[in-house]
Structure 1
Amino acid sequence: MPLFEVETTSHIMIASAEDEDSARSFASTNYPGEEILRVAHRPRDAWVISKNLLGVQADSDPCSTARECLAKAQGDKIHAVRLYMQSTGTDLEKARKAVESNMSRGW
């Protein structure tokens, strides 16, 4: 089954759907309050995320850094965010997102 990239006002999702109408239906069912901005058929059966477009440098791994900070903070999110900011020099919002997105992996 082909993959479709569906962008709404707040999300970008990848849906396995028979056609574009099914992909739109998937988005409307799961996020009924959001406007669908774009639907694109993915050319292959894989989804690739470019680290360069996300701003991830080759010499850094934000996920492992966030997990290290969580381990040092013994799962205390606020302390882990502070450690992440100190370690990477990022602002509060980026540090919070990095730590929170890695909290499900063991904390």
Structure 2
Amino acid sequence: MPLFEIETEAHIIITWAETEDDAREVVSEAYPTDEVVRLTRRPRDSWVISKGALGLTDTKLDPCVIARDCLSKSAGDKVNAIRLYRMETGSDLEHARRAIESNMVMGW
């Protein structure tokens, strides 16, 4: 069965389907308000996402690793961890707050 890549305004969906019409049906069932922007039949039956293309190959730059390290250095003090994260990454206050808070929720 062919593999299709379907892009809508809000999603990229990878699915197997017999025909393009079947692939469009997958989108209409899962996301009835989304309109198909692009539909491509993939040349192979598997899908690979390059971690390098997503910027995930260098763990030093992984925001979760940095956030957890900042939380550790600050002994769990959220405000201090945010300050450390901003200094470490150059992020703005809102981005740093989200990174620290999301890692606190994950059970630091």
TM-score (norm 1): 0.61
Question: Post-superposition, which runs of at least 4 consecutive aligned residues in structure 1 deviate over 6 A?
Answer: none
Counterpart for residue 56 of structure 1? 56
Secondary structure of 2:53's counterpart equals helix
Verify the 8 A CA contact 1:51 1:57 in the aligned structure 2.
yes
Aligned to 1:11: 11
Structure 1 CA distance for aligned equivalents of residues 44 and 97 of structure 2? 33
Secondary structure, aligned partner of 1:15? strand
Question: Is the counterpart of residue 47 in structure 1 residue 47 in structure 2?
Answer: yes
The number of aligned residues is 103
Instruction: After superposition, give the CA deviation of every residue in 1:9-61 in whole Å (9 maximum; x if it has no partner).
Output: 00001111112111111011111111110011122222111223323343536
Across the aligned residues of Structure 1 and Structure 2, the Cα RMSD in angstroms comes to: 4.0
Percent sequence identity is 42
Q: In structure 2, what is the Cα distance between the partners aligned to 1:87 and 1:17?
A: 46
- The C-alpha deviation readout for 1:70-106, integer Å capped at 9, x for no partner, is x85xxxxx88x94765654445448847x85x89xx6
Q: Which has the larger radius of gyration?
A: 2
